[in-house]
Structure 1
Amino acid sequence: MERSLLQRIESFLRESHMPPSVFGRAAAHDPRLVSDLRGGREPGRRLICQVEHFMNKWRVDRHAGRVAPCGDRRHAGERR
């Protein structure tokens, strides 16, 4: 059974350590995207393709060493 777009996004958020609003803004110019999907918004085909493209490109770029997991910028510089 194929996973829903929201399930794939949730998995991507865990993998990338990207906050949902940052993801939504970067993937679809909509910081409320993930929140809306969690609330029941049904994505259209264009949005699905746009989001999938963003996630696939991010993974390729990370594999090539061009990006690193971004994490939560509110805690940038803190040692853990």
Structure 2
Amino acid sequence: MCLLSDIDTYLRRTGVAETTFGRRAVNDPRLVRDLRRGRIPGPALCARVAAIIAARAS
């Protein structure tokens, strides 16, 4: 899953905790854990996470 690998890369690069990222991105501290366990994100969630990663990458 591309979204999860993008999140993992972001977390390694920034040092942000999984729960902190999920809370900041979509107000769900279990987001990353749930994705690893098979949660299938909808298009809105994917777009929101991608936008946050892109905004903080610059």
TM-score, structure 1 as length reference: 0.69
Partner of 1:10: 8
Given the alignment of the two structures, is residue 54 of structure 1 paired with residue 52 of structure 2, yes or no?
yes
Q: Based on CA coordinates, which of the two structures has the bigger radius of gyration?
A: 1
User: Moved runs in structure 1, 4+ residues, more than 4 A?
Assistant: none
Which structure has the highest helix share of the two? 2
Identity between Structure 1 and Structure 2 (%): 40
1:58 positional shift: 1.1
Cα RMSD, aligned residues only? 0.9
TM-score, structure 2 as length reference: 0.94
Alignment coverage as a number of residue pairs: 58
